[in-house]
Amino acid sequence: MRILVTGGAGYIGSHTLVELLAAGHEAHVVDTFANSSPEALARVRQLANRDFGFTRADIRDGEAMARVARDFAPEAVAHFAGLKAVGESVGKPLAYFDVNVGGTVALLQALQAEGCRRFVFSSSATVYGDPDYLPIDEAHPRRTTNPYGRTKLQIEGILEDLAVADPAWSIALLRYFNPVGAHASGRIGEDPEGIPNNLMPYVTQVATGRRERLIVHGDDYDTPDGTGVRDFIHVVDLARAHVAAAEWTGRGAGCEAFNLGTGRGASVLELVAAFRAASGQAIPVTVGPRRAGDIAASWADPARAARVLGWRAELGVAEMCASAWGWAARNPAGYAGPERNPD
Ligand code: UD1
């Protein structure tokens, strides 16, 4: 299929692009490089050994989106472009509503005008808030505590309304749990700007000496070792779920949600222990206070994705840590620095 990938230079977008190209699909990327690098796309081209189109444009630019939709005539869209820092969203809510919600509406208008009605959306398990029960299935009530989460909820609502208004739309809402890890080559991976908010990029920066120690945000939760428990999912598994979902939009109809996780939780200390084992690095740790807004535990019931999409996660925490370390050791300064060849 011809698939338009917004935010294709980002962490999950770039890994998905590799898997789409490997599966024989024809891709066109739209990105502003607001929080990503052209180098990621150059490396995807090398890894896939295939080319794809690219337009540097903002999803809020309706004319640019209309042009891309007209010229490339996508059969389906994988929509990753957006802002994603929870803390930042609290201070800059309007930027989040403008880029995430406004940008998605502008993109959808262009697609509707050009007759493309297959859409795969990057949603998040954050739409479940502090869960009522575990594992979390797709019927779990949705709620949120911050503007970033609200943009995900609002976009899900917009897409649900669109599918009611026009049954020709076929939409997959992919609710990601905690994506970590990198491509097995170590050539693409997660490259956050500034001090990482999320656990795995922080751990890899401790491993490469960019940060001194990991602060564990609380060890007094009601979990087996007191630290937070999350459903970490390998980004390559997540990327393959997008291929399955994009293909499903050609068969499915309406707007359907899918949890993307492994179905298993691992604690912060378990992840750190697995990372030490995979990397041979020490990873000093200090326990600090809880982080505001954090929940104790979250893991997915991924049965629906298995049943409907025919997808399930195959890679475990050991592979997540080994690949995250592979990327960090080869690219200690991310895409900005020189690439080291450890071979
Ligand atoms: C966070 C976001 C969530 C977003 C997701 C993307 C918050 C509150 N939630 O989820 O909306 O969809 O990222 O992956 O930011 N931890 C430490 N030390 C650190 C960093 C994290 O102990 O330096 C702990 C956290 O307290 C948590 C676990 O590691 O228990 C995972 O944290 P993180 O990677 O930030 O993911 P979430 O909080 O689950």
Distance 301 CA to ligand 1 centre (A): 19
Q: Whose CA is nearest to atom 33 of ligand 1?
A: 198
Distance 325 CA to ligand 1 centre (A): 19
Please state, in angstroms and rounded to a whole number, the distance separating the CA atoms of residues 9 and 30.
8
pLDDT category, 342, cuts 50, 70, 90? low
Q: What is the pLDDT of residue 319?
A: 98
State the average pLDDT over residues 220-227: 98
Specify the 3-state DSSP secondary structure of 153: helix
pLDDT digits (tens, 9 = 90+) for 142-190: 999 899 999 999 999 999 999 999 999 999 999 999 999 999 999 999 9
Is there a cis peptide before residue 192, judged by omega within 30 degrees of 0? no
State the average pLDDT over residues 101-112: 98
State the average pLDDT over residues 63-75: 98
State the average pLDDT over residues 295-317: 98
Q: Which residues line ligand 1 (CB under 6 A)?
A: 86, 124, 126, 178, 197-199, 202, 214-217, 228, 230, 268, 291, 293-294
Query: What ligand 1 atom has the least distance to the C-alpha of 214?
Result: 23
Distance 229 CA to ligand 1 centre (A): 10
Number of helices (H), then strands (E), in the chain: 12, 13
Between strands 232-234 and 178-180, the pairing is parallel
Distance 293 CA to ligand 1 centre (A): 10
Alpha helices in 34-124 (DSSP H): 38-48, 62-72, 86-91, 93-96, 103-114
Query: What ligand 1 atom has the least distance to the C-alpha of 203?
Result: 23
Q: What share of the chain is helix, strand, coil (3-state, %, to 5)?
A: 40, 20, 40
Which of 96, 156, 198 for mutating ligand 1's site (highest number of atoms within 8 Å of CB)?
198
State the average pLDDT over residues 31-36: 97
Chain Cα centroid distance, residue 323: 16
Q: Which of 11, 148, 202, 221 is catalytic?
A: 148
Domains (range + CATH), the chain: 2-335 (3.40.50.720)
Distance 7 CA to ligand 1 centre (A): 22
Which of 90, 145, 178, 180 for mutating ligand 1's site (highest number of atoms within 8 Å of CB)?
178
Quick one: what percent of the chain has pLDDT higher than 70?
99
Query: What ligand 1 atom has the least distance to the C-alpha of 228?
Result: 30
343 pLDDT above the threshold of 70: no
CB-based burial label for 289 (10 Å; 0-12, 13-18, 19+):
exposed
Q: Whose CA is nearest to atom 6 of ligand 1?
A: 178
Distance 197 CA to ligand 1 centre (A): 7
Structure tokens at 297: 């535990």
Query: What ligand 1 atom has the least distance to the C-alpha of 294?
Result: 8
CB–CB of 304/296 below 8 Å? no
State the average pLDDT over residues 185-200: 96
pLDDT digits (tens, 9 = 90+) for 89-103: 999 999 999 999 999
Establish whether 148 is a catalytic residue: yes
| Mean of pLDDT over the chain | 97
- Residue 124 host element (H or E): strand 118-124
Q: What is the pLDDT of residue 252?
A: 87
341 pLDDT above the threshold of 90: no
The model carries a pTM of 0.97
Q: What is the pLDDT of residue 94?
A: 98
Q: Whose CA is nearest to atom 20 of ligand 1?
A: 199
pLDDT digits (tens, 9 = 90+) for 229-266: 999 999 999 999 999 999 999 998 999 999 999 999 99
